[in-house]
Amino acid sequence: MAALEALHFIGMGLLGALIYALCWSKSWGELKSFENVRHLVLGPIIGYLYSVLHANYSFPDLIMAAVAGYFGVDFVQSLFERLRPRAEGQAAQPGR
C-alpha cells in the first residue's frame, strides 16, 4: 500500500469526523466536548484501518457505501434542522 493512498484515507476519515462534529455541535464551545474530540481522534484511525482492509484484504467498497447510507441520513437531517429556523425566522419578518 502506498503511503499516499493511506494518507488519502486518513484525511477522508478526519474530514468525516470534522463534518460530524460541525453538524452535531450546537455551539462553538461544544466543539471541544469529549464526544467531538473523540470523533476527531477516531476518524483518522478508522480511515487508516479502512485503507488497510481495502488495500491488503480487498475489503469491498460496498461496506463503505452501506455505512455512508446509514450515516448519510443523519447528516442530511442535521443540515435541514440547522437551516430550517433561519428560513422560518426570515419568513416571519416580511418587511426586511
* Average pLDDT score over residue span 14-35: 86
- How far apart CA 62 and CA 29 sit, in angstroms, is 36
The pLDDT of residue 25 is: 84
- How far apart CA 45 and CA 47 sit, in angstroms, is 5
Q: Is the pTM of this model over 0.85?
A: no
Query: pLDDT band at residue 88, thresholds of 50, 70 and 90?
Result: low
Q: Assess if residue 21 is contained within a domain.
A: yes
As a whole number of Å, the CA-based R_g of the chain is 18
Q: Taking a C-beta distance cutoff of 8 angstroms, is the pair 46, 19 a contact? A: no
% of the chain surpassing 90 pLDDT: 0
Q: Assess if residue 43 is contained within a domain.
A: yes
Containing structural domain, residue 24: 3-83
Name the domain count of the chain. Answer: 1
